[in-house]
Amino acid sequence: MEELQPAETIGEVVGSLDQLTAPLREFVAGIPALLMGASALIGGVLVCLALHWAIRRTLLRLTRGGDGFLRQVLLRTGGLTRLAFVLGGMIVTLPATSLPAEWIALIRHVISILLIVMVGWALMTTVSHTADRSLRRWIGADEENVEARKNRTQIRVFRRILNIVIFLVTAGACLLTFDSVKEYGAGLFASAGVAGIVAAVAARPVLANLIAGMQIAITQPMRIDDVVIVEGEWGWIEEITATYVVVRIWDWRRLVLPISYFIEKPFENWTRESGAIIGSVVLHLDYAAPFEALREKFDEVVRASSWWDGQVSVFQVIGASERTVEVRALMSARSSPRAWELRCEVREKILLWLREAHPEALPRDRGDVRLRPEGREAARDGPGPLAGRPAAAE
């Protein structure tokens, strides 16, 4: 049996140890390069943060002493711009690191997507801030102020439409950073026949609502706080979004309709040009009602009411049936809720006055009772010229 020499045994052990420690030695040898890359990355980020601080501080100093648009945008987007500068510094210093090329490409891709998202976020923040500043002018405006309702409607609708457009563009830009999406889009564009038709049909409801929202913002068939009658319900326009409208019904229910409904179907708008409206009270009275006294009482009640706007006050007899006379009282108010209160007040006070002062004016049934004279036969019943006359002698 051949025996192993000590020198050969020691050489094999040393070779085994060398193989085991090779990864560790490679890592240790790469530490200086790793430290250099990390130092360059951290240094680039710090430089970008200092640059952001200097630029932002300078701009804030230039806009000091007021509530200007640029200053408010800087205050609202400070965090976003700081993160954007950090990501920009990382992109610049990534080649100085010792990371593999695949890792660098992946990190750059992720950073690119984050930068696109932050740009979209900043744009949406700017749009919202602009809309809020514009809406401040109309805070506390009277509900009958048509100009205020017009501007509030336009600002809110356009803000939502712009935010949706920015979101779609941002999402599309993020997707286009992927090569597979680019290839699919190119293929879809090349075969834009059937695929385009299918896409158009699928997107029709969304596009129809967006276009309807733009039409309503421009033409304004209805506005925020308009009084409308929709689907047989009376209420106020509470909210107008890019895709739907919320109607607050008088009993606090909410009716939600697609915004295209107000373009395609008819509806009543009681405050299209002005909030003023004429209300009516209809009463059915007896033929014995004192119309002149009733007219004077109506004028007295209307003029004493705080709901009346001092414009219209009319009392008319508009019809008559076999039992009652129909009278109508017209009165105006600054808004439909005021008109409702005025109508209820006038109706209640007129009825109380009739019950106390002229009960004979309230509707009643009449009967005609005739007494037959003694010595005469009963009158013939039934209609005709001989009705109510004694029978002829034989």
Only one residue has tokens 């640029």, namely: 70
Treating both helix axes as pointing N-terminal to C-terminal, what angle do 6-20 and 22-62 enclose, rounded to 10 degrees? Answer: 20
Average pLDDT over residues 308-323: 90
Do residues 310 and 299 touch, judged by C-beta distance below 8 A?
A: no
Which pair of structure tokens corresponds to residue 140? 């506390």
Q: How far apart are CA 16 and CA 297, in angstroms?
A: 118
- With H, G, I as helix, E, B as strand and everything else as coil, classify residue 344: helix
Which strand (E) or helix (H) includes residue 118?
A: helix 101-136
In DSSP notation, 174-222 reads: HHTTSHHHHHHHHHHHHTTTHHHHHHHHHHHHHHHHHHHHHHHHHH-SS
* 293/49: higher pLDDT: 293
Q: pLDDT at residue 21 above 80?
A: no
Q: pLDDT at residue 164 above 90?
A: no
Average pLDDT over residues 37-60: 79
Q: Name the percent of the chain lying above pLDDT 70.
A: 73
Q: What pLDDT does 239 receive?
A: 87
Average confidence score pLDDT of the chain: 78
Flag the least confident range among 3-7, 183-187, 239-243, 303-307: 3-7
Flag the least confident range among 66-70, 149-153, 184-188, 320-324: 184-188
Average pLDDT over residues 113-139: 85
Band of the pLDDT at 34, cuts 50, 70, 90? low
Angle of CA points 80, 86, 88, to nearest 5°? 100
Phi, psi of 247 (to 5 degrees): -105, 120
* 199/38: higher pLDDT: 38
E-strand ranges in the chain read 227-230, 233-240, 244-249, 254-258, 268-269, 277-285, 313-320, 325-333
Do residues 345 and 351 touch, judged by C-beta distance below 8 A?
A: no
Radius of gyration of the chain (CA): 42
Q: pLDDT at residue 386 above 50?
A: no
Q: Which of 130, 124, 96, 91 lies closest to 107 in space, CA to CA?
A: 91
Looking at residue 331, its amino acid is M
Band of the pLDDT at 281, cuts 50, 70, 90? very high
Q: How many CA atoms lie within 13 A of 194 on its CB side?
A: 0
Of 160-174, 197-211, 213-227, where does the model show the most confidence? 160-174
Q: pLDDT at residue 300 above 90?
A: yes
Average pLDDT over residues 135-145: 67
Of 113-117, 130-134, 377-381, where does the model show the most confidence? 113-117
* 206/124: higher pLDDT: 124
Band of the pLDDT at 146, cuts 50, 70, 90? low
Q: What pLDDT does 89 receive?
A: 78
Which pair of structure tokens corresponds to residue 276? 């003023």
Q: How far apart are CA 351 and CA 297, in angstroms?
A: 11
Q: pLDDT at residue 157 above 80?
A: yes
